[in-house]
Structure 1
Amino acid sequence: MSRNGVWQLKKMCITYCEHSGSSKYIRNILPTDFIKFKEANPQIEFEEKVVSGCHPSVTATYLSGKEKFLPLRGREEEKIIKHLQNLRDTSGFKPTKFGDRYIKKTDTIQGLWHPFLDLKNAQQQ
């Protein structure tokens, strides 16, 4: 995600195993779809680690210093790319609340509104 024209995702580190079955989908996308994703996002630094006996995962590092860890065990190719795009599109900050809803317990001057209110007959009286 871009905030004030600056991309927030700085680095993506992908770890996988060359032999395990849980890493087969990520091994399938590395020579094709992952290269396209890298070319489409030159602002991100990509790192690929091969670690024997581990499940595949992605660690995203943002400018704020926050890191997000996402396991990719048994995820199919389309879902892996969707997860990478989701990590790219988030800012790394926690979601902010914009305030609570204000609900009054007292009636308004005009009266309460409900969906069955007949406004046409009320204006004629």
Structure 2
Amino acid sequence: MITSEYLKTRLIPFAEKNPQIEIVVTPRPSKHPFVRGLYLNGREKGISARNKTPEEIVETVNLIRDNTGFKNNKRFKKPVISTTASVRGIWSPFKTQPHKI
């Protein structure tokens, strides 16, 4: 299996290079491989390693390692205010011309 090749050849050097990460391998009989990251802020991120090559699994593990665990869907509640005036000036209904049909 491709995943077992990754575990045998590349996981141990990755764990030695990144001592700040705890790596746990658990067997999942009759299921696809799964990479899961648990972050200190309580969040969890998991990515399936189904049908991935060892290089793609390395990218997935690096993505989870480099991620912070926070979600990026933050909304801004304040309107955007420009510091420069518009090139066209302030809009006024009296300055517009009626459309010709």
Go from structure 1 to structure 2 and tell me whether the alpha carbon gap of 1:91 and 1:52 turns closer, same or farther (over 3 Å shift): same
TM-score where L is the length of structure 1 = 0.59
CA distance in 2, matches of 1:78, 1:48: 18
Residues 51-70 of structure 1 aligned to structure 2 (within 5 Å): 51-70=28-47
CA distance in 2, matches of 1:32, 1:75: 15
Which among 75, 84, 88 is matched to residue 65 of structure 2?
A: 88
- Shift in Å, 1:101: 7.9
Runs of 4+ displaced beyond 6 Å: none
Q: What secondary structure does 1:78 align onto?
A: helix
CA distance in 2, matches of 1:33, 1:75: 14
Go from structure 1 to structure 2 and tell me whether the alpha carbon gap of 1:28 and 1:101 turns closer, same or farther (over 3 Å shift): farther
Return 5+ residue gaps in structure 2 as ranges: 89-101
- Shift in Å, 1:102: 3.5
Residues 73-112 of structure 1 aligned to structure 2 (within 5 Å): 73-95=50-72, 97=74, 99=76, 102=80, 108=86, 111-112=87-88
Q: How many residues align?
A: 85
Identity %: 33
Q: CA RMSD in A?
A: 2.3
- Shift in Å, 1:66: 0.5
Q: Match for residue 21 of structure 2?
A: 44
Which is strand-richer, 1 or 2? 1
Return 5+ residue gaps in structure 1 as ranges: 1-23, 113-125
Q: Match for residue 122 of structure 1?
A: none
TM-score where L is the length of structure 2 = 0.72
